[in-house]
Structure 1
Amino acid sequence: MNKEIEDYYQKYGQKVYAYLISICREPDTAQDLTQETFLQALRSLNKFDNKCSVCTWLCQIAKFLWLKELKRRKYHPSVSKEPDIEELDISIIPPDDQTESTDTKMYILRQIHELPEREKEILLLRATGAMSFEEIGQLFGKNASWARVTYYRAKQKLRKE
């Protein structure tokens, strides 16, 4: 493997995985897509133009691969399985000062997944610590202020519940 991609994997592998888990909610799929993301990055490394951060570029590749996977599942419905909420890894929700019960965490996770897709992605990316507001803004083709405002509004929606 290219040394540069190995370095990227060491530096950004967890962030890409956290991003994928936030959008697909399937740990095995997220792991597979993380590996595929870095394989695709290796193939297109010469096309990277530094218009965005490396992490943003990798997450854009990851998102493309996830959309491709969804399209594949559409044509092969037996492959598509909506994860059971009880099977989800809730460790992506950072613990508060007080330990919350599993039921409370599951309730919060259900509420997060009822948010509009964009807000859900941004909330989970921040909650997992996967990306800064600047990186989230770049990922969506916006700026850091937009990412902050969208994150704030998503949190407000959750608080109302």
Structure 2
Amino acid sequence: MTDFDRAYRENAELVYRYVFSLTRNADLAEEVTQQTFYEAIRHPGNYRGEAALSTYLCGIAGNLMKKELSRRARENHVPIEEMTDLPGEGSAEDAAMGNLSRQELFRRIHALPEKTREVVYLRLSGELPFSEIGAILGESETWARVTFYRAKQKLLEGGGV
């Protein structure tokens, strides 16, 4: 087995879950996951080993996802927030946020600062542990826990900012 095979086997699911948690679009998540590994192979010298490989790959995926959503929004003249779907009834958001409508919850999450919004999506939609969320975002597990707790409080209070 090559190093690339091992890296793909160990990280592809995490990268996919990361992108899917942000986009809620399975096709886009698969496309961005594949493109992420293509970019990593194309530019092997960019990974300097300063962070975990999973963190590096999620960084590539996040950048690719943002570019793709912007491109699609420009082509279709559709706001980016309308290009992603929230999960259906019985989702983690429903359980965590009680009686909020999906539309109201999305509005409140969208109003959060970007990094906080990513923590919320990764935790609720991606169901990632705080240790992985911290690693993906280049922060500590404690930071991820505190950020999620504070975001949840703001969402329940009715504010996002």
Q: TM-score, normalised by structure 2?
A: 0.71
Which position in structure 2 is the counterpart of 1:55? 54
Q: Is the 8 A contact 1:19 1:125 kept in 2?
A: yes
What is the deviation of 1:90?
0.3
Amino acid of the structure 1 residue aligned with 2:51: C
Amino acid of the structure 2 residue aligned with 1:28: D
Give the gaps of 5 or more residues in structure 2.
Answer: none
1:116-151 Cα deviation digits (max 9, x unpaired): 222111011112345443333343333222222111
CA distance in 2, matches of 1:137, 1:80: 34
Partner SS state of residue 119, structure 1: helix
Structure 1 stretch 33-42 or stretch 126-135: which is displaced more?
Answer: 126-135
Q: Give the counterpart of 2:121 among 114, 119, 124.
A: 124
Q: Is the 8 A contact 1:134 1:147 kept in 2?
A: yes
2:153 is aligned with 1:156:
yes
1:61-90 Cα deviation digits (max 9, x unpaired): 11121233355457xx22453368697250
Q: What root-mean-square deviation, in Å, do the aligned CA atoms of Structure 1 and Structure 2 show?
A: 3.5
CA distance in 2, matches of 1:19, 1:80: 26
Amino acid of the structure 1 residue aligned with 2:42: R
Matches within 5 A, 1:56-71: 56-70=55-69
Amino acid of the structure 2 residue aligned with 1:13: A
Q: Is the 8 A contact 1:5 1:41 kept in 2?
A: no
Aligned residues, how many? 155
CA distance in 1, matches of 2:30, 2:86: 13
Q: TM-score, normalised by structure 1?
A: 0.71
